[in-house]
């Protein structure tokens, strides 16, 4: 099982000092956090994608590309890549490039985000959010798996004889997670393609998480990708840890009370009771998170949010050390002891995906040729009457609707 951290990249005033970092300091602190997580032995660092203050991670691949060169083993991922407002062509190019640069030490999580105004900023309509997620991902998959793509859809201009470059590493696309908090349609999309499903349940009770994961597992099996308990599941969480539980509560309370999202709302006690937020000792975190398996079954990735709400960098690095030294080893050992042999211990690695594709005969040595690779379809490709050659219809799997 993988354990790691994710960041939303908020720029928030420290309520105990009144100090607010600028954007540059916050970006650099995120880089320090990722490098420290790698050195501490955590498995994953993931960054969100936001395009509005008070958040700074507007270019995840820039950050992750840099980190690929300065880290050694940690998997680099996204906590959200906006599949709705990013052009699938750019996503195909940028994440294939990141895959090559990192030598496959990456994956990505697709989501719709939680900021409504981002849609018109990028020329889209929030009312089409689910339709955008479905169509854009269908195109993204084709750009990664087909060397030359003819495509026409609703939300972007058609493509004719288009080849996305660079091609995926070893001919195998990155592993994809689909992140959702409440939309069954996204869980269905993940199940339809046999991808991972990540429920970032930091604001929701486990009863809701259990329902979403159960639905995904059922649909994963229905679509023929394996048994329900073999589906690839990830969960989000939040912790603040000190060796003494009361010190943890006292230290974190002002940050909780003034946090941009839930500050000045429910009490910390109510929030920790109703959501996965756990504030206390390492053993309290272990006890709480070890029980999640009882709710959702064996799962493959657990990410913690630890660097939000204005927490100082020094404090965040201390949190990473406590996770890596006292919490994760125990959770990993308990998860592995309980996991049945037929259930994956983690999401598939790049090497495993290459081996599976080779065994299935899905890899070919040379790109498909015949299209003008620089300007798209050629005049010579018209039919004898002079009419433009027919563009094949899009992949029929563009309507991944939730089962009733």
For 264-298, write each residue's pLDDT tens digit. 889 999 999 999 999 999 999 999 999 999 999 99
Residue 185 lies inside a defined structural domain of this protein = yes
Region of residue 103 (phi > 0: left; psi between -120 and 50: alpha; otherwise: beta): left
Helix %, strand %, coil % for the chain, to 5?
Answer: 45, 15, 45
Residue 399 lies inside a defined structural domain of this protein = no
Residue 162 lies inside a defined structural domain of this protein = yes
Measured distance CA(263)–CA(312) in Å, rounded: 17
Residue 149 lies inside a defined structural domain of this protein = yes
Q: Report the pLDDT value the prediction gives residue 262, as an integer from 0 to 100.
A: 83
Measured distance CA(350)–CA(297) in Å, rounded: 24
Residue 387 lies inside a defined structural domain of this protein = no
Q: Which helix (H) or strand (E) holds 236?
A: strand 233-241
Query: Among the listed ranges 6-20, 28-42, 112-126, which one has the minimum average pLDDT value?
Result: 112-126
Residues 219-271 pLDDT 10s: 999 999 999 999 999 999 999 999 999 999 999 999 999 988 787 889 999 99
Residue 403 lies inside a defined structural domain of this protein = no
Q: Please report which confidence band the pLDDT of residue 129 belongs to, taking 50, 70 and 90 as the band edges.
A: confident
Domain that holds residue 364: 2-381
Percentage above 90 pLDDT, the chain = 76
First to last CA, the chain: 32
Answer for the pair 55, 113: CB distance below 8 angstroms, yes or no.
no
Q: Share the mean pLDDT of the chain.
A: 89
Answer for the pair 60, 47: CB distance below 8 angstroms, yes or no.
yes
Answer for the pair 100, 172: CB distance below 8 angstroms, yes or no.
no
Question: What does the radius of gyration of the chain's CA atoms come to, in whole angstroms?
Answer: 22
Residue 392 lies inside a defined structural domain of this protein = no
Q: Is the pLDDT of residue 154 over 90?
A: yes
- Higher-confidence residue of 127 and 159: namely 159
For the domain that residue 203 is a member of, what is the CATH number? 3.20.20.30
Calculate the CA 162 to chain-centre distance.
27
Residues 320-333 pLDDT 10s: 999 999 999 999 99
Domain count, the chain: 1
Residues 6+ apart with CB under 8 A from 276: 201, 202, 206, 235, 236, 237, 238, 288, 289, 292
Q: Report the pLDDT value the prediction gives residue 324, as an integer from 0 to 100.
A: 98
Q: Is the pLDDT of residue 389 over 60?
A: no
CA angle 304, 61, 355 (to 5 degrees): 80
Residue 132 lies inside a defined structural domain of this protein = yes
Q: Is the pLDDT of residue 382 over 80?
A: no
Q: Please report which confidence band the pLDDT of residue 181 belongs to, taking 50, 70 and 90 as the band edges.
A: confident
DSSP 3-state assignment of 179?
Answer: strand
Q: Report the pLDDT value the prediction gives residue 117, as an integer from 0 to 100.
A: 80
Q: Please report which confidence band the pLDDT of residue 364 belongs to, taking 50, 70 and 90 as the band edges.
A: low
């Amino acid at each position: 099982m993988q354990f790691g951290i994710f960041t939303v990249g908020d720029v928030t005033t420290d309520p105990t000092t009144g100090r607010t970092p600028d954007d540059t300091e916050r970006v650099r602190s995120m880089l320090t956090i990722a490098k420290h997580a790698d050195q501490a032995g955590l498995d994953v660092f993931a960054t969100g994608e936001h395009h509005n203050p008070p958040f700074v991670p507007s270019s995840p691949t820039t950050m992750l590309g840099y980190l690929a060169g300065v880290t050694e083993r940690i998997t680099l991922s996204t906590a959200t890549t906006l599949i709705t407002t990013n052009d699938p062509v750019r996503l195909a190019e940028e994440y294939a490039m990141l895959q090559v640069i990192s030598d496959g030490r990456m994956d990505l999580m697709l989501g719709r985000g939680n900021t409504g105004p981002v849609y018109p900023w990028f020329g889209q309509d929030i009312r089409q959010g689910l339709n955008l997620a479905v169509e854009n991902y269908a195109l993204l998959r084709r750009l990664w798996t087909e060397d030359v793509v003819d495509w026409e859809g609703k939300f972007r201009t058609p493509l004719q004889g288009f080849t996305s470059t660079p091609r995926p590493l070893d001919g195998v696309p990155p592993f994809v997670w689909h992140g959702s908090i409440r939309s069954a349609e996204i869980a269905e999309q993940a199940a339809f393609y046999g991808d991972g499903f990540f429920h970032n349940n930091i604001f929701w009770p486990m009863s809701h998480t259990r329902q979403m994961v159960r639905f995904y597992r059922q649909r994963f099996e229905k679509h023929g990708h394996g048994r329900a308990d073999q589906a690839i599941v990830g969960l989000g969480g939040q912790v603040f840890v000190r060796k003494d539980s009361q010190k943890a509560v006292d230290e974190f309370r002002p940050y909780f009370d003034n946090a941009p999202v839930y500050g000045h709302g429910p009490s910390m006690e109510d929030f920790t009771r109703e959501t996965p937020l756990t504030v206390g000792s390492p053993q309290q975190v272990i006890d709480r998170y070890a029980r999640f398996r009882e709710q959702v079954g064996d799962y493959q990735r657990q990410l913690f949010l630890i660097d939000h709400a204005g927490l100082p960098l020094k404090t965040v690095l201390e949190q990473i050390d406590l996770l890596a030294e006292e919490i994760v080893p125990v959770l990993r050992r308990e998860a592995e002891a309980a996991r049945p042999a037929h259930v994956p211990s983690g999401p598939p690695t790049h090497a495993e995906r290459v081996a599976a594709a080779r065994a299935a005969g899905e890899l070919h040595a040379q790109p498909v040729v015949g299209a003008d690779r620089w300007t798209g379809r050629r005049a010579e490709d018209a039919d004898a009457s002079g009419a433009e050659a027919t563009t094949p219809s899009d992949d029929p799997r563009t309507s991944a609707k939730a089962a009733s």
